[in-house]
Amino acid sequence: MSALFPAGTSVRVRDDWPETRGACHIRTPHYLRGVRGVVEKHLGAFANPEDLAFARPAAVLNLYHVRFSPQAIWPDAQGDALVVELYETWLEAA
């Protein structure tokens, strides 16, 4: 499955809160919603766990390792990089 966001692409995690709209299963941590990062690597493609969790037909989605600056999330953060696995549907070009 070809990757929409090659390594080095600047992306933003969608500022979306499906958990406020009803039952859901989300693998995108809340602390990243709306935060900008950079794609580090395309990790492959996997069936969407948001659907698998409810035994619904699940589309296969690209999964990326995206790097964030911890200070962009918490001004007092002490790390140098935070790297998180995110599905393509949660990312937009930034």
Partner 1 sequence: MSSLLETPSDRLLAAVRQLLTAKGVVTREEIAERIRTTDNASPAQGARMVARAWVDAAYRARMLADGAKAAEELGIPMRGMPPLGVLEDTAGEHNVVVCTLCSCYPRAVLGYPPFWFKSAAYRARAVRDPRGLLLEFGTALPAWVKLRVVDSTADYRWMVLPLRPAGTEGWSEERLAAIVREGDMIGVTFPKLP
CA distances, 47 to each of 8, 30, 32, 51, 74 (Å): 24, 21, 21, 8, 31
Q: Does 34 bind partner 1 (CB under 8 A)?
A: no
Q: Which stretch binds partner 1 (CB under 8 A): 6-14, 16-24, 72-80?
A: 72-80
For 54, counting Cβ atoms within 10 Å of its Cβ (0-12 exposed, 13-18 middle, 19+ buried), the class is exposed
Distance, in Å, from the CA atom of 82 to the CA atom of 36, rounded to the nearest integer, reads: 12
* Span of 3-11, 16-24, 38-46 interacting with partner 1 by CB under 8 A: 38-46
5 is an interface residue for partner 1 by CB under 8 A: no
List the structure tokens of 43.
Answer: 């990790």
Binding residue for partner 1, selected from 28, 42, 62, 91, defined by CB under 8 A: 28
Question: What residues line the site for partner 1 (CB under 8 A)?
Answer: 27-29, 31, 43-44, 46, 49, 63, 70, 73-74, 76-87
